[in-house]
Amino acid sequence: MNSSALSRRGFLRGSAASVLAAATLVEAGVANAANSERSGLEPKETFDLVIVGSGFTGLAAAYAALENGLKNVLVLEKMHVFGGNSVINAGQVSLAGSGLQKSKGIEDSAALMKEDMLRAGQRFNHEALVDALVKEAPACYDMMVDCGVKFADDVIRLGGHSAPRTIFASNYSGGGICVPMHKWLRGKGVVFRNRSFVRDLIVEKDEVVGVEVVPEYDFDTKKGGEAYAVRAEKGVVIASGGWGSDKEFIATSMPPYRTLACTSQKGATSETIRMLLGYGAMPVMLDIYQIGPWATPDEFGAGAGSVFADYIFAEGIMVDSRNGRRFVNELASRRERSEAEMKCLDKDGNPVFPFGFCSEETTKNRPGFETSLREGTTKRTESVEELAALYGAPVDELKKQIDEWNAMVRAGKDTAFGKPIDKPIELRPPFYSIRFWPKLHYCMGGVGITDKAEVLSYKTCRPIAGLYAAGEVTGGVHGMDRLGSTSSTDCLAMGRIAGRNAALRKI
Amino acid sequence: MNSSALSRRGFLRGSAASVLAAATLVEAGVANAANSERSGLEPKETFDLVIVGSGFTGLAAAYAALENGLKNVLVLEKMHVFGGNSVINAGQVSLAGSGLQKSKGIEDSAALMKEDMLRAGQRFNHEALVDALVKEAPACYDMMVDCGVKFADDVIRLGGHSAPRTIFASNYSGGGICVPMHKWLRGKGVVFRNRSFVRDLIVEKDEVVGVEVVPEYDFDTKKGGEAYAVRAEKGVVIASGGWGSDKEFIATSMPPYRTLACTSQKGATSETIRMLLGYGAMPVMLDIYQIGPWATPDEFGAGAGSVFADYIFAEGIMVDSRNGRRFVNELASRRERSEAEMKCLDKDGNPVFPFGFCSEETTKNRPGFETSLREGTTKRTESVEELAALYGAPVDELKKQIDEWNAMVRAGKDTAFGKPIDKPIELRPPFYSIRFWPKLHYCMGGVGITDKAEVLSYKTCRPIAGLYAAGEVTGGVHGMDRLGSTSSTDCLAMGRIAGRNAALRKI
Could you tell me if A101 and A177 lie in one domain? yes
- DSSP 8-state code for residue A81: S
User: Does residue A2 fall inside a structural domain?
Assistant: no
**Which stretches does DSSP call E strand in A120-246?**
166-168, 191-193, 197-204, 207-214, 228-232, 236-238
User: Which pLDDT score is estimated for B27?
Assistant: 33
Does A458 sit within 8 Å of B253, measured CB to CB? yes
Q: What DSSP character marks residue A150?
A: P
Same domain membership, residue B258 and residue B137 = yes
In this prediction, residue B390 carries a pLDDT of: 97
Same domain, yes or no, for B414 and B460? no
**Residue A3 pLDDT greater than 70, yes or no:** no
For residues A82-98, average pLDDT: 94
Q: Do A458 and B33 touch (CB under 8 A)?
A: no
Check CB contact under 8 Å for A283 and B285: no
What are A211-263's pLDDT values in tens digits? 999 999 999 999 999 999 999 999 999 999 999 999 999 999 999 898 899 99
Q: What is the mean pLDDT of chain A?
A: 91
Task: Tell me the chain B residues in contact with residue A278 when contact means C-beta distances shorter than 8 Å.
Answer: 280, 459
pLDDT value, residue B39: 64
Residue B13 above 60 pLDDT? Answer: no
* Largest Cα–Cα separation, chain A: 75
Contacts of A286 in chain B (CB under 8 A): 283-284, 286
CA distance A259 to A353: 12
Structural domain ending residue among the three candidates B409, B437, B465: B437
CB nearest A456 (choices: B22, B252, B254): B252
Told to judge if B322 belongs to the known catalytic residues of this protein, a careful annotator would answer no
- Selecting from A249, A278, A285 the residue whose C-beta is nearest the C-beta of B287 gives A285
Question: Which H helix or E strand runs over A183?
Answer: helix A175-187
The model's pLDDT over B138-175, given as tens digits with 9 standing for 90+, comes to 999 999 999 999 999 999 988 788 999 999 999 889 99
- Rg (C-alpha) for chain A, rounded Å, is 24
Is it the case that residue A14 has pLDDT exceeding 70? no
CB contact under 8 A, A253 and B125: no
Q: How far apart are CA B419 and CA B332, in angstroms?
A: 8
Q: Which residue of A has its CA nearest to B24?
A: A460
**Partners of residue B277 in chain A, C-beta under 8 Å:** 277, 280, 283, 458
Domain boundary among A381, A410, A437: A437
* Amino acid type, B444: M
Q: DSSP string covering B197-240, please?
A: EEEEEEEETTEEEEEEEESS-BTTTTB-S--EEEEESS-EEE--
Given A8, A199, A325, A334, which residue is catalytic? A334
> Is residue A4 in a domain?
no
Cβ of B25 within 8 Å of Cβ of A459? The answer is yes
Tell me the residue length of chain A.
Answer: 507
Closest Cα of chain B to A53: distance in Å?
Answer: 21
pLDDT for res B235: 98
- Asked whether residue A341 falls in the same domain as residue A445, the answer is no
DSSP summary character for residue B452: T
CB-based contacts of B181: which residues, under 8 Å, 6+ apart? B59, B60, B63, B144, B147, B149
Q: What is the C-alpha R_g of chain B?
A: 23
CB contact under 8 A, A22 and B283: no
Are B281 and B419 contained in the same domain? no
Provide the pLDDT for residue A440.
94
Of A339, A343, A458, the CB nearest to B274: A458
Interface with A, mutate which of B125, B277, B347, B456 (most A CBs under 10 A): B277
* Structure confidence by residue, pLDDT tens digits, B264-292: 999 999 999 999 999 999 999 999 999 99
Nearest CA in chain B to A30: B459
With CA atoms as reference, report the closest residue to A273 among B283, B465, B31, B418: B283
CB contacts of A343 in chain B (<8 Å) are 123
Cα gap A149→A116, rounded to integer Å:
26
- Long-range contacts, B10-15 (Cβ 8 Å, 24+): B10/B88, B10/B89, B10/B300, B10/B301, B10/B302, B10/B303, B11/B88, B11/B263, B11/B265, B11/B299, B11/B300, B11/B301, B11/B302, B11/B303, B12/B81, B12/B88, B12/B265, B12/B266, B13/B300, B14/B266, B15/B220, B15/B266
Task: Give the list of residues 6+ apart from residue A366 with CB closer than 8 angstroms, or none.
Answer: A308, A311
- Put simply, the answer to whether B458 touches A256 (Cβ < 8 Å) is no
Domain hosting residue A428, numbered range: 294-437
More confident residue, A362 or B11: A362
Q: Which of B392, B408, B437 is the last residue of a domain?
A: B437
What pLDDT score was predicted for residue B367?
82
Quick one: pLDDT at residue B38? 53
Q: Is residue B6 part of a domain?
A: no
Nearest-by-Cβ selection for A253 from B127, B251, B448: B448
**Mean pLDDT score, A386-402:** 98
Q: What would the pLDDT profile of B311-331 be if each residue is shown by its tens digit?
A: 999 999 999 999 999 999 998
**What is the share, in percent, of chain A residues with pLDDT greater than 90?**
81
Chains A & B: contacts with CB separation below 8 Å: 105
Do residue A459 and residue B123 have CB atoms under 8 angstroms apart? no
**List of residues 6+ apart from A37 with CB closer than 8 A:** none
H or E, element range at A490: helix A487-503
Q: Which of A249, A339, A476 sits opposite B461 (nearest CB)?
A: A249
Same domain, B276 and B332: no
B153 occurs within a structural domain = yes
Least confident of B7-16, B36-45, B320-329: B7-16
Contact indicator for B491, B472 with CB cutoff of 8 Å: yes
Residues A342 and A447 in one domain: no
Which chain B residue has its CA at the smallest distance from A255's CA?
B126
Over range B476-496, report the average pLDDT: 95
State residue A4's pLDDT score: 34
Region A170-199: mean pLDDT is 96
Count of domains observed in chain B: 2
Per-residue pLDDT at A315 exceeds 90:
yes
Query: Which residues of A sit within 8 Å Cβ distance of B?
Result: 22, 25, 30, 32-33, 122-128, 248-249, 251-256, 274, 277-278, 280, 282-287, 339, 342-343, 448, 456, 458-462, 476
Out of B33, B253, B343, name the one closest to residue A448 (CB).
B253
Say whether both A277 and A301 belong to one domain. Answer: no
* pLDDT value at A102 more than 70: yes
| Site from A131, A243, A459, A462 to mutate, B interface, most B CB atoms within 10 angstroms | A459
Q: Domain for residue B370, yes or no?
A: yes
CB atoms inside a 10 Å sphere around CB B417 = 15
Q: What is the pLDDT of residue A60?
A: 98
Choose the catalytic residue: B165, B195, B325, B334.
B334
Of B274, B448, B458, the CB nearest to A459: B274
Residues B430, B444 within the same domain: no
Average pLDDT, chain B: 91
- ipTM confidence score: 0.81
What pLDDT, on a 0 to 100 scale, did the predictor assign at position A70? 98
Band of pLDDT at residue A124, cut at 50, 70 and 90: very high
Q: What are the chain A neighbours of B278 within 8 Å (beta carbons)?
A: 280, 459
* Concatenated DSSP letters of A324-338: TEE-S-TTS-HHHHH
- Residue A38: per-residue pLDDT: 53
Asked whether residue B300 falls in the same domain as residue B214, the answer is: no
- Answer whether A490's CB lies under 8 Å from A94's CB: no
User: Does a cis peptide bond (omega within 30 degrees of 0) precede residue A430?
Assistant: yes
Q: How far apart are CA A312 and CA A325, in angstroms?
A: 16
Which residues in chain B have their CB less than 8 angstroms from residue A250's CB?
Answer: none
Inter-chain CB proximity B255 and A476 less than 8 Å = yes
Between B41 and A136, the more confident residue is A136
Q: Is A437:A341 a contact under the CB 8 Å cutoff?
A: yes
pLDDT at B185: 98
Residue B195 and residue B53 share a domain: yes
Which residues on B lie below 8 Å from A287 (Cβ)? 124, 283-285
Residues of B within an 8 Å Cβ radius of A: 22, 25, 30, 32-33, 122-128, 248-249, 251-256, 270, 274, 277-278, 280, 282-287, 339, 342-343, 448, 456, 458-462, 476
- The confidence band for A35, taking pLDDT boundaries of 50, 70 and 90, is very low
Residue B469 belongs to a domain: yes
Minimal-distance CA residue of chain B relative to A23: B460
Is residue A6 situated within a structural domain? no
Identify the CATH number of the domain in which residue A346 sits: 3.90.700.10
For residue B362, is it within any domain?
yes
**Whether residue B302 sits in one domain with residue B181:** no
- Indicate which CATH number applies to the domain containing B50: 3.50.50.60
What pLDDT does B172 receive? 85
A22, B282: Cβ pair inside 8 Å? no
Tell me: pLDDT of A39 over 80.
Answer: no
Mutate which of B339, B461, B464, B477 to test chain A, going by most A C-beta atoms within 10 A?
Answer: B461
